[in-house]
Structures are given as structure tokens and as C-alpha cells.
Amino acid sequence: MILDKRTDGRTKLTGLIGNPVEHTVSPVIHNSLFSYMGINGIYVPLKVDASGLEAAVRGLAALGFTGFNVTIPYKEAVCRLLDEADGEVELLGAVNTVRIRRGRLYGYNTDGEGFVTAFKKQTGTGFSGKKICILGAGGTARTLAIKAVQEGAGEVCIINRTVSKAEEIAGYINGKLLEGSRPGKPVLPLASGAEQAHAAIDEADIIINATSVGMFPDTDANPVDDSVEYRSKPIAYDVIYNPVETRFLRMARMKGCRTYNGACMLFYQGIRAFEIWMEAKVPDDVSEELMASFLKYVGV
């Protein structure tokens, strides 16, 4: 019998809290990074119920974890549990990476950086002057809307079933983030299914699904009505990576759109999170080799 000696009392503990976590492939990224970098560490997914969120976070600190990621639906709720947050968390109102030092919780958000890096590498284009529709009004939608505006988007429409949540994000960006810096109100909140929302989708340059609609196991769901024609043939981007092609992406592809899933976004935000925890830069050659293997693994 071969002895398993991968972990010991000096192993750096990291992980992911969220609900659900059964679909995640983040352990593949981080555990591979530990191996590539020669670091004695491990990354585990941890399913946490909402009622036990604070106890779970405090428990990770008490158990000596080096850090952890935060995913749906806790990216906003964990903010109130932090001891300190960097400027990106304060700007975006959401946290996806926590570093633990001497029992204190330091929050970061690597989603925005990961998204922008991945989108530009995948599509060969950026956001400057583009008409962008973002589906959803949760923490991820807020992050992507802010980053799109920072990148010079010409117009951003936030489309959500509960329009008041879209209005909250739009009001923050238009009133606090952009006040006095550029004319007009570039962020527009719209209700899903409304005629104005359909028109915005048909005229968009880029459509981003920032909801969990269509994620495994509910793979038949689509945040956009199947009848939408995508007349402008926009780039369709889904932050979901499981399944590889959601119904949203499949319908958009069939109607002539270029489509991309969130695997690259996950990869680049993961690289940055790992660097924060380990306080070390991942070499470019390691990152490129691992990305090629990871994308092949997830079927991209």
C-alpha cells in the first residue's frame, strides 16, 4: 500500500464557502497551484447554510486557515464579518477572497480583475464605448457593472426580475461612482421581460449573464427568453462554467453570437486569490501551462 503523505500539521489550509459548492472546479486550480509551486497546502469546498455563515467564517479563522474564497450567495454577507477590506471590496460591495492573519479577516475582491483579464484575452476586445447588458443584480452583477463602467463602457443596462435591485446598483454607480466625472447616467436599470429590456438586448454589443440561472443542475433554465433574436449579434458571456455551454449560450450561438463561458474568469480570479494567500507571485509560465490544462479539463 502507498502511504498518502500529502497533508500534515504544517499544511496551509484554504477553501471555498458557498451554497451550492458541489459543482465547483476551484479545487482543481488551487490544488494544482500548490503542486506546481511546491507549497504544502490544500483547498477544499465547504457547503455552508445561511444560518451558520458567521459561525463557519469564525471557525475557519479559529482552525488556522490561511484564507478562503466566497461564492454564491455570500459575497455580500461576508463583508460585514471582515476586520479590514481593501478598496476594491469597498467599491464593489462584495468579497470573494479572504486572507486570515493572526485571526483577523482581510477581504479582497478578485472577480473584477479576473473578469476583465479573461474577457479581453478570450474575445480580443474590451468595453470602451460598448453597449452592455448585464443580466442579474446580485454581487457579481454589481462587480461587472462597475468594472465595465471603469473600462469606459458607453452604456450599461442592468436587467433583473426585481427591478428595485437593479435600480440600487444603477443609483450607486450613477450617483456616487460617476457623479461629476462624466455627463449623463450611463447605467440603466430594466425589468426582465419588459419591452425595453428586449430592445436593449437586441441592440447590445455585449450581453453578460451574471446570474446563477442555467447553472448545474438546473441546466434547462435561461435568463433570456428563447424568442430573443439578438439582432445586433453581440458577444454573449456567461459567468457560469458548469455546464460548459448553458442554455443562454447555446441559444445565443445558434442565433449568430460569439459565446464564452466563465472558466477563464474563474481561473484568473483564482490565480490572484492564491497570490494573496501565499504572498507570492505565480510565474507566468506556470499560469499559462496550468490554464491550458485547466481549460482542457473543463472542456473549453
Q: What's the sign of the alpha-carbon dihedral 271, 274, 280, 282? A: negative
**Residues of 56-68 as b/e, b for ≥16 C-beta within 10 angstroms?**
bbeebbeeebbbb
Residue 263 grid cell: 472558466
Cα-based angle 288, 33, 213 (whole degrees, multiple of 5): 80
**Which tens digit of pLDDT belongs to each residue from 194-239?**
899 999 999 999 999 999 999 988 899 999 998 899 999 999 999 9
Phi and psi torsions of 146, nearest 5°: -65, -45
- List the one residue out of 187, 248, 234, 228 whose CA is nearest residue 206: 234
> Do residues 122 and 260 touch, judged by C-beta distance below 8 A?
yes
pLDDT at 255 over 90: yes
- 12 neighbors 39 (Cβ within 8 angstroms): yes
- Over residues 8-26, the pLDDT tens digits come to 999 999 999 999 999 899 9
**Which residues does 278 contact at the CB level (< 8 Å), separation at least 6?**
12, 37, 39, 41, 66
Tell me which residue has cell 450611463.
Answer: 186
pLDDT tens, residue by residue, 261-297? 999 999 999 999 999 999 999 999 999 999 999 999 9
List the domain boundaries for the chain: 12-109+264-298, 112-261
Mean pLDDT over the full length of the chain: 93
> Over 60: is that where the pLDDT of 175 sits?
yes
Q: Summarize pLDDT for 42-94 with one digit per residue, the tens.
A: 999 999 999 999 999 999 999 999 999 999 889 999 999 999 999 989 888 88
Share of the chain above pLDDT 70, in %: 97
**CATH second-level architecture of 12-109+264-298?**
3-Layer(aba) Sandwich (3.40)
Strand ranges, E, within 164-296: 187-191, 206-209, 235-238, 258-260
47 is catalytic: no
Q: Whose CA is closest to 266, among 20, 28, 74?
A: 28
Q: Please say if the pLDDT value at position 180 is more than 60.
A: no
Please provide residue 191's backbone torsions phi and psi, each rounded to the nearest 5 degrees.
Answer: -90, 135
Helix (H, G, I), strand (E, B) or coil at 116: helix
Quickly name the fold that domain 112-261 has: Rossmann fold (3.40.50)
Say what the pLDDT of residue 235 is: 98
pLDDT for the residue numbered 181 = 57
C-alpha triplet 7, 12, 16: angle, nearest 5°: 105
Whether omega for the bond prior to residue 243 falls within 30 degrees of 0, making it cis, is yes
Count of C-beta atoms within a 10 Å radius of residue 117: 18
Question: Which listed residue (5, 12, 47, 75) is catalytic?
Answer: 75
Q: Quick one: which of 234, 228, 248 has its CA closest to 204?
A: 234
Residue 182 has pLDDT above 70, yes or no: no
Locus of grid cell 471582515: 82
Q: Which three cell numbers stand for residue 276?
A: 494573496
Cα Rg, the chain, nearest whole Å:
19
Two domains, one topology: 12-109+264-298 and 112-261: yes
Q: What is the pLDDT of residue 177?
A: 72
* Tens-digit pLDDT profile for residues 108-137: 999 999 999 999 999 999 999 999 999 999
